[in-house]
Structure 1
Amino acid sequence: MQTNRIGLDSDKSKQLAERLNTLLANYQIFYMNVRGYHWNVRGPEFFELHVKFEEQYNDLLLKVDEIAERVLTLGHRPMHAFSDYLENSEVKEAKNVTEGKLCVQGLLQGYKQLISMQREVMELAQDAQDEGTATLMSDYITQQEKTVWMFSAWMG
């Protein structure tokens, strides 16, 4: 078995890096969707949601960087062209969404997709004995499940 510079199986690391790149593409599209919700939300919940969406996109941006750096740590190159993000993302662009509940529905759907993908990445990471990636995914899932619960409670 050939290993990479951090002692992980090279083939499994390559597969993980590819899945992380797909996750990265989804994060980038979701990040832009949440920025759009922040900028464009209208109505009686404006002040509350405007702040909450800003909290969300700031957190997503940190995770974008962490995922890209994890790809590099595994010895591969992170995607960095928006055209690649669009081509590889399951999260679809949200355009011209302004109504608060529709924005929150989009937020919840995006997190549902990310959590599912992160569970898959975590399983691959565990199989590869990649504790760093598995822990990162576990931490994201834990935080995002709580976020889903809170926004779901807001929806009623």
Structure 2
Amino acid sequence: MNSINIGIDSQDRQDIAAGLNQLLADSYSLYLKTHSFHWNVTGPMFNTLHLMFETQYTELALAVDVIAERVRALGERALGSYSAYAKRTEISEDNGVTDANEMLKQLLEGQEIVIRNARKLYPLVEKANDEATADLLTQRIQQHEKTAWMLRSMLA
């Protein structure tokens, strides 16, 4: 492969890609959990939550592709296995949750984990003048903060 000369130091590219792989692991784990809750939600709010969870997992499915492609643009390998994601994420798997409010609480917690981990990457991205990754992070944080607000509103 040709060397990468995009104005970002090699070590910074590797460190940023590692942070993006963390974001990828978190996002994919949250995608899986949200999709499972979409399938398994029951109760009086079934239709509302079923549709809301579908919107959320669809958005996450698109996001993981954008994140992985940014990792590749930086010259690193994007994570691509459940075991790799499980080793990196703090987001717990769906272990048979059936209560709709508990689903909302767990998804809110997952959204906040993604937000915090994405935010941790900013100092390195700014130091490296990596505007493309900064833009990606800004968009991801905006989306996750909006989704967290909606989940919080459902719990109020």
TM-score by length of structure 1 reads: 0.94
- 1:72 maps to 2:39: no
RMSD: 1.2
Q: Identity percentage over the alignment?
A: 40
Letter in 2 for 1:64: V
Question: Contact between 1:123 and 1:134, CA under 8 Å: does it hold in 2?
Answer: no
Unpaired stretches in structure 1, ≥5 consecutive residues: none
How many residue pairs get aligned? The number is 154
Q: What residue is the counterpart of 2:127 in the other structure?
A: 127
| Mapping for residues 46-125 of structure 1, pairs under 5 Å | 46-125=46-125
Instruction: Give the superposition deviation at 1:5.
Output: 3.1
| Mapping for residues 20-31 of structure 1, pairs under 5 Å | 20-31=20-31
| Mapping for residues 129-144 of structure 1, pairs under 5 Å | 129-144=129-144
Task: Render the CA deviation track for 1:67-114: whole Å, top value 9, x for unaligned.
Answer: 100000001110112111111211111221121111110110000000
C-alpha distance in structure 1 between counterparts of 2:146 and 2:28, whole Å: 21
Question: Contact between 1:16 and 1:125, CA under 8 Å: does it hold in 2?
Answer: yes
Letter in 1 for 2:99: E
Question: Contact between 1:5 and 1:75, CA under 8 Å: does it hold in 2?
Answer: no
TM-score by length of structure 2 reads: 0.94
Instruction: Give the superposition deviation at 1:23.
Output: 1.6
* Structure 1 segments of 4+ aligned residues over 4 angstroms from their partners: none
Task: Render the CA deviation track for 1:92-146: whole Å, top value 9, x for unaligned.
Answer: 1122112111111011000000000110122221111100001110111112212
